[in-house]
Structure 1
Amino acid sequence: MNDYVHISAIEKVEIGSNVLMASHIYISDNSHGFYGGTAKDSSPWIPPQERAYLVSPVKIGDNVWIGEGAIIMPGVEIGNGCVIGAHSIVNKSIPSCCMAVGAPVQVVKRWSPDTQRWEKCSPRN
């Protein structure tokens, strides 16, 4: 774990073995308010610090590499053997053995056990 890694946990942030973290990473299992377009949504007229917390555990698997400045949002699971690119915003779960980059994050490569290589994915994966 490098410098300036900020982990915020109200319920649970689970980090596996052999995880490599660059600097300036933010990992959180919580957020001030609800913004999903439901009846639970937080009113903009309520100060952010007074809004109900969204709390959802985060799980990071074994042998994961998280690049510089990545943000891991509540409720995300990152599978074993993943690579998360620098400055990615991980707002959805990533299956094992995937390389994911971007804001919001997208899987761009998967490890192929057949070829023993990282292979490109279609943009929708």
Structure 2
Amino acid sequence: MELQTYLDHVNQGKRLEGGSEVHAFMTQAARQAQQITAEINTGYHDGEELRALFSQLIGKPVDEGFGLFPPFTTDFGKNITLGKRVFINSGCRFQDQGGITIGDDVLLGHNVVLATLNHDPVVARRASMLPAPIVIGDKVWIGANATVLPGVTIGKGAIVAAGAVVHRDVPPFTVVGGVPARILRELSQEERQ
């Protein structure tokens, strides 16, 4: 299977059947991602080296304003799209088969989890997975230990409080928090600048 065929499959939200050719490709790709993330997480790398490794991981150029504090893990890598000046703090974990798009000037706190796959809830099909993308708008700040679940879009300028579990879309310029996350307030006009 070719990478683009796989990406077309998951980006259309099609099921990843356990034991299928698509599932086998996903497993193979995960091993490649593990090799690159092991390199990212081993020893010291300056900003230029980290950008080069991350670019290799996602298969696309990474903006020179990109920042990463390892360790970082992802189980695929090739379905991540980054904007400019993205900062990923230490301990973040991406599950990007369903697609992760991160806008410009986004800040991800320690141990943020972005998960784009759900297992099928039907017991007989539990080994199958259902992909759904995560889209993070420009200037979003996601606090430490927050988890964003499959299919969520976080609007421009929003803040996700530390420890939140985000299971539905977040409107622009709002603050959400809690488990499950709910809107706590809207940002003031001054805070939106």
Residue 83 (structure 2) aligns with = none
Root mean square deviation of aligned Cα? 1.7
Alpha-carbon separation, structure 1, partners of 2:138 and 2:187? 15
Alpha-carbon separation, structure 1, partners of 2:112 and 2:136? 13
Higher RCO by CA contacts (8 Å cutoff, separation 6 or greater): 1
The alpha-carbon deviation at position 76 of structure 1 amounts to 0.2
CA offsets per residue over residues 72-102 of structure 1, 9 Å max, x none?
A: 0000000000000000000000010000000
Residue 156 (structure 2) aligns with = 80
1:103 to 172, 179, 184: 179
Larger Rg: 2
Aligned-residue identity in percent? 27
Letter in structure 2 aligned against 1:97:
F
| 2:93 matches 1:6 | yes
The alpha-carbon deviation at position 112 of structure 1 amounts to 4.1
- TM-score, normalized by length of structure 2? 0.51
The alpha-carbon deviation at position 67 of structure 1 amounts to 0.4
Residue 120 (structure 2) aligns with = 33
- List, as ranges, runs of 4+ consecutive aligned residues in structure 1 with deviation greater than 3 Å: none
CA offsets per residue over residues 19-62 of structure 1, 9 Å max, x none?
A: 1111111001112223xxxxxxx11xx585x2x21211110000
Residue 135 (structure 2) aligns with = 59
- TM-score, normalized by length of structure 1? 0.77
Alpha-carbon separation, structure 1, partners of 2:171 and 2:125? 36
Alpha-carbon separation, structure 2, partners of 1:69 and 1:111? 22
Letter in structure 2 aligned against 1:81:
G
The alpha-carbon deviation at position 111 of structure 1 amounts to 2.3
| 2:177 matches 1:90 | no
3-state SS of 1:103 partner: coil
Unpaired segments ≥5 residues, structure 1: 35-41, 119-125
Alpha-carbon separation, structure 2, partners of 1:11 and 1:108? 28
Alpha-carbon separation, structure 1, partners of 2:138 and 2:100? 14
Unpaired segments ≥5 residues, structure 2: 1-87
Larger proportion of helix: 2
Alpha-carbon separation, structure 1, partners of 2:106 and 2:95? 17
Q: For this pair of structures, how many residues does the alignment match?
A: 105
Larger proportion of strand: 1
